[in-house]
Copies of this chain bind each other. A is one copy, B any other.
Amino acid sequence: MPGNTFGQLFKVTTAGESHGGALAAIVDGCPPGLELAVEDIQGELDRRRPGQSEITTQRQEKDKIEIMSGVTEGKTTGTPILLIAYNKDAKSEDYRKLKDVYRPGHADYTYQAKYGLRDWRGGGRASARETLARVAAGAIAQKYLREKMKFEVVSYVEQVGDIKADIDYRQVEKKDVEGNSLRCPDKQAAKEMVALIEKVRAEGDSIGGVIRGVIRGVPAGLGEPVFDKLPADLAKAMMSIGATKGFEYGSGFAAPAMRGSEHNDAFCANDKCKIKTCSNHAGGTLGGITTGEDIHFRLAFKPVATIGKEQDTVDKDGNKAKLSAAGRHDPCVLPRAVPIVDAMAALVIMDHYLRHRAQNS
């Protein structure tokens, strides 16, 4: 199967290139009767769009979304929801010089190798612009889940370069995340991160980072044995976001050095006899199925591939070439990636929620 569909029962199929006519998503399988308006989606898109602050690219794109089907009299009908955002003011000719030269760290070469041709305008389908469609679809999932459970997904920037936020994921609220342009709830660290980003930008360079995601309010029982474990599907969702290099949840890469007696989360029960775990090294799942505790994970991003500094490369015939970008690019993708992580998390939970109730109603 081609790879532009995510989810099985809440099924999102996206299309669109950076400089084509539009970005679009068809969301199929949304339960009927959900109140849905453009405003429910636009807010999440605004968190993702370029030009929203001084540390992101200065390209101004409105990314205005339209709902073209699947909603009548303000409610979802259960039929496919077509979401579309038209591309505007794309300066495709800027990219013509890249037609036959492969940008390091980009998908130019691999798309060419795969398909024998590629849309070289603005990165084509490999452009980060495709995430617009994910964010739009994810906004619908978030809305539905909030109505069905105490669902909340709070992602935030935890690290930029070697600067790490000092904050407990259990304490972070959405408003803390939106409190600064970096989407890092540790204000002091956020300031240092901004300074670092401005420094690397001035140097014509870029920098990576880590996003922490926290999903709250998911009941016990979601996830499917054995291949579609919830953390497996979450890992796939997150690693499908461009520029990601690593995913860990719960104890993550700290687990290997732990003893079983230390790592096992003891079960306890509160006075309502609800089963809980005292700690949460598990990160919210056991055997791939949710425990009812918070699902928390970390996602590593590489530094943005497009940089101002001159780089060595080759052209399509293998001849040496030099490249330096003269565009309006993000020196650090992290702040704008936060809503993408939120969206993908919501899509995973939504899909597993419907899968669970299909079998276990």
Contacts and interface: CB of A to CB of B under 8 A. Distances in A.
B4 A227 contact: yes
Contacts of A285: 110
A163 B229 CA distance: 29
Nearest to A252: B246
Interface stretch (A10-18, A43-51, A56-64, A172-180): A10-18
A50 to B, nearest CB: 18
A1 B73 CA distance: 25
A220 B69 CA distance: 24
Contacts of A317: 273
Interface string A93-121: 00000000010111101110111111111
A4 B114 contact: no
Given A210-B253, A318-B275, A354 B358 contact: yes
A231 interface: yes
Given A68-B16, A246-B253, A236 B226 contact: no
Contact of A229 (B210, B239, B260): B239
A21 B161 contact: no
Contacts of A281: 302
Given A15-B68, A228-B3, A267-B314, A300 B239 contact: no
A160 B259 CA distance: 11
Contact of A240 (B5, B117, B120, B288): B288
A256 B300 contact: yes
B261 A309 contact: yes
Contacts of A320: 268-269
A356 interface: yes
A217 interface: no
- Among A203, A228, A309, max chain B CB count under 10 A is at A228
A249 interface: yes
Nearest to A27: B15
Interface in A246-274: 246-253, 255-269, 273-274
A349 interface: no
Interface in A215-239: 220-229, 231-239
A360 B116 CA distance: 9
A2 B359 contact: yes
A283 interface: yes
A361 interface: yes
B32 A287 contact: no
A282 interface: yes
A75 interface: yes
A33 interface: yes
Interface in A153-174: 159-162
Contacts of A16: 68-69, 80, 82
10 contacts: A1-B11, A15-B68, A72-B118, A115-B360, A162-B257, A231-B244, A235-B235, A240-B288, A245-B251, A263-B302
